Chain A
Amino acid sequence: MSENIRNFCIIAHIDHGKSTLADRLLEHTGTVARREMKEQLLDDLELERQRGITIKARAVAMDFKLGGKTYELNLIDTPGHVDFQYEVSRSLVCCEGVLLLVDAFQGVEAQTVANAYAAMEHELQIIPVINKIDLTHARPDEVAEEMMNSLGTDPDECVRVSAKTGEGIESLVEAIIAHIPAPTGDADAILQAMVFDSNYDDYRGAITYVRIMQGTVRTGQKIQFLRAGTQHEVVEIGRFVPHRESCAELKAGQVGYLICNIKSIGDVHIGDTISRAGSGAAEPLPGYARPKRMVYCGLFPSDGQDFSELRDALERLAVNDPSFEFEPETSDALGFGFRCGFLGLLHMEIIQQRLENESDIDLVQTAPNVTYEIVNKRGETISIHKPQDVPDPGDIEEFRQPIVRCSVIVPNDFIGAVMKLCQERRGIQQSQEYLGAQRAMITYHIPLAEVVYDLHDKIKSCTRGYGTLDYEMVGYEAADLCRLDIMVNGNRVDALSVVCNRADADRRGRAVAKKLKAEIERHMFEVAVQAAIGSRVIARETVPAMRKNVTAKCYGGDITRKRKLLQKQKEGKKRMKAIGNVEISQKAFMAVLSDNEQD
């Protein structure tokens, strides 16, 4: 009965209330009883609850009666942060429509625009929703106008709700049923299902999340993954309500999960197509474009012994998050580890935290960097994922860096401040548009390296929190770059090298040396830190030798307590790597990002 199905996702800028709106929909449709309700119920990852943001898209099926008919509403709550754009684009493929949510006070922001365009590209029906109308400073009429100006939505079609109080939810559900088209797939056709997500369960193996495009899948049926070329028997089928609830079959248009007793995690690929086994399978679906990794860093186990454990943990995590990549890396300084690519810094932080939470490995992470391109003297173009791979200056014909198109939405009063900031970051202005009387969208081309680390924070702080940033890759451009090396007691530490603009190199070198001096603990001997470009030393700092490490205190009877204190000194050595005989902490590896001597 696919005419009674509505598949939609909620998309918005970060914090505009998607997950809270999902709570109200779960409640209004009776999917979750009020007493089981908690705030942002779908944000059930530990990290999501800690940080109060959505990281993973979450699907949930809701049954709802209206006008004598029972509808199946399949909702996908998506993350709003720019780093998780890929989660949104995967969700869009499973839907016929979206709720485009805008905060009634904040108005249209950078990711509102980015997400709206993504929905349009997928030709999805957009229901504009203005949320948080309960706020005292809500300005729904102006926001409706901003939406019209920037996204072309009709102010009369905006549904006004408060995900907090529940106001307007009823008419929203009616609008969903009335305006979002039902899926069109034929339930009797050959099975064709899109794998849009997966995770790994220790007991059940891989859980595959699917949207059935056409046909029907039943328990016991033999299926195949078209891209992986593997065949499996379906052990369990079900829907998310929001926990897993098994059912006998899933038909065209429905969203749910399959369990096939797949224990090898490499067998499930997000973006793969499922069809019936044997010959006469359906055509594979286009799948997903692999997202562009924006930043790379090295991850090394503090204890070299944990290398294979780290590999296992990375593989497991990759099942649930196909957007980060990793490959083995060897560093003279850090030993064996992995070079990992991420969609942004938040993504990097989250992956690292999940690795530590889920696997109990103590990690040392090198400073993030972007991917550069080098054309060497032989005319070959090479991608550089880590600074230590930058060849000698004599072998470089052209050094290129990635450029992104940044869209910043700001209140008019702050345009000047933002423009100044973008120019300092070597940005080139592309355009400026007014979204309404109050706000504008400015577009710049800026080197990615100037954007990823902290541009968003800087924009926030120079606009009192009102400015928002979105960016996308444009391509590579030649620039006057060089590799800045760090030497510790005379030895170059490959993992501390960075790429920077030649014009900034002296300032950067001094800043990094100073920061490292502050971060490297004192040793039994003096530690010299130098920054150099090629053979030219541009800064030198010295960490003086420790003069004592003794507690002149009577160690009386409480030996256990004193022993623990002494052992704590050892504990403090976690997240440390020994480079030669110098111990370098995690924080010191990040010191190379500093570009300001005052920092």
Chain B
Amino acid sequence: MSTIGKIARRTFLFGTAAVAGGVAFGYYSYTKPFANPLKDGLAAGEATFNPYVKIGSDGKITIIAPRAEMGQGSYTTLAALVCEELDVRLDQVSIEHGPPSPAYFNAAALSEGAPVPQFDEGMVAESLRAALKIVAKFVALQFTGGSTSMADGFEKMRYAGAGAREALKEAAARKLGVATSTLQTADGVISHPASGRSLSYGALASDAATIEAPSGITLRDRKGWKILGKPQPRKDMRAKVTGAPIFGVDVTLPDMLYGTVRMNPSPGGKMKSFDATAALAMPGVTKVVAIDSPYGQGIGVIADNTWRAFKAAEAVDIKWEHGPAPANSVEIDAVLKTTLDGPGFFTLRTIGDPDRIFADAPRDKVVEAEYDAPYLAHAAMEPMNATARLKDDVLEVWAPNQAPTLIQVVGTRITGLPADRIRVHTTFLGGGFGRRIEPDFSDYAIRLAREGEGRPVKVTWTREEDMTHGPYRPVAKSRYRAVLGGDGMPRALTGSVASPSVAANAVERYFPDVPMGGPDNMLIDGAYNQPYGIENYRIDGRKASLAVPVGFWRSVGYSYNTFMHESFIDEIAHIGGKDPLELRRALMSDFPVALGVIDKVATMVSWSTPPAPGRARGLAFALSFGTWVAQIIEVSKTAGTIRIEKVWCAADPGIVLDPLNFKAQMMSGIIYGLSAAVGQQITFADGVVEQSNFHAYDALRMNQSPAIEVELLENAHRLGGAGEPGTPPSMPALGNAIFALTGKRLRALPFSKEVDFA
């Protein structure tokens, strides 16, 4: 077997998406280009050059941004990548999400998620990343996640623009009878300066689309960039400030029916029976049906408006069975403890011989700590919803979603229709954060559409339904130990992390027939793969068996591991008598990019100057999704309550494609993380989730939101992500700041269990 074959086979043990995709979509030859999915849906006068560019004879230019716009701004920046090479302005183009297609596979999601540390640029790591890109193409996954839109689109989208530009130039050269080298392109016009003649892209489009773009196009050097690297106004901003109906919940179709669902609130529990007599007697209610899906059992209601559907669903009398999940949070904690104490574990990176150092260490030089993180809901502002219509053997789904090809898989499973008879329209997403990778909301809408007699059904969940069903960010518990030398420096560090495996759980949910085994690198992401040079080092992961659905929550494993690992580094610093910033500098001295963000954030805050009396600061660092981030948080205490005053953040994604948007993403990630750190937790009692709405699961509000200052650096060698890397360091930075202020070490999230916040 070839080397790539071996690596690919190994990959299937841990590459969740690879396992899932391979089974679901069949194998495609990775050398064979995918068909251009735009060819089937062209308007009159429209021509397409590749899966990303359409130009009409009227000059209208449409760019396909095949990643879900859920707030992260990828819609605009992906289009900017095309515009830069196509030589058109951003204000000249319109953007669409495009149809689901294997042509829009996400290679970076797999290669950036490779189970090797992102700072490891050695040969093994690079070849593993390259092999994973091939696997991704094999399985043709189209999804938005892992902060990968830019890493994945950086070359693809620019080549799409350059290829179309060169084909347009060739068409112009033939028409004008001149050499292509004598032509210039700008703002959608090709000009021939020698003769003063010019032609618009629109006039050339139909001819140019039949011309194969020349091979060997060289992408422009960034020194020549006109659009990239500079702040661009978001293309979706006007629609969003005028209240345009762009979200899933806003979908309106002729003859549309309205629905909702009520699913068993006990995870995995069956529905024994239901009585819909009262509901069916209510005005406007047409149907109440049982739903039995891989995502749960319950009922769906169809009515003539959403409000009536909500009221009717509430009026249905349902007898539930309890599922296999533990009844309450105490039992869940016991499972985590047992898992930590048990014999099963996996490691992905061990340095030196930590066991020997621990065995030889004097007791007073050993530092130990145990950390906890709760289940978390995503709580996107737009509750889960989807609209579906099944008519004439065609299934159409309109959904705010992060994985359109997965909706086709679910559609086939429910209706038996092949993928080419399932059309998925991706609307704008009212927040995603990983929740909208899940196909459950589409699954339920498709099941209700089967009852719609050819009419579309818009199925909207209540906030209560959304919050009480997950899939959640998993609960986690860890134990960290370190041996300190006489100089206060750590000589050995080990950590054990127990948590349910998101990879195993998600694959089971998306593709119930596929077994998922092996290590899950996401379970220890943020712990095992940080650039700390500790000579004896090991992190082990332990999969906890808990029947609560868990999924991808903004930054996934980093969301709890960075909190635990960075809190422990802070503990080591204080016990060893070191400045937390200086200790990190010393441990990461081999990584100039890490030192760059640490020194930058130290300068921004004047770290060496103590804060005002009554205030204190905490620092944390994380390398996640290819982006290096250091954050410092300053807190104050008044009348017994903690206030988060300010956050300073320095981030290095290698290349900043849009500084204004990148800073917005850092801010967003920070507030998302701090919201969780301050007060969020999903807990269980009597087998069901206790938090049902924002009264019990709130997020930071305007009056609690700190001032945030972000600076960006471009020293990293590879292009990193934007959507997630702001989140991981925010939680430990806050905990470390509270320790610095109060002397109280907070080892369990959320912190509101132990301190009060303003």
Real complex partners, A and B? no
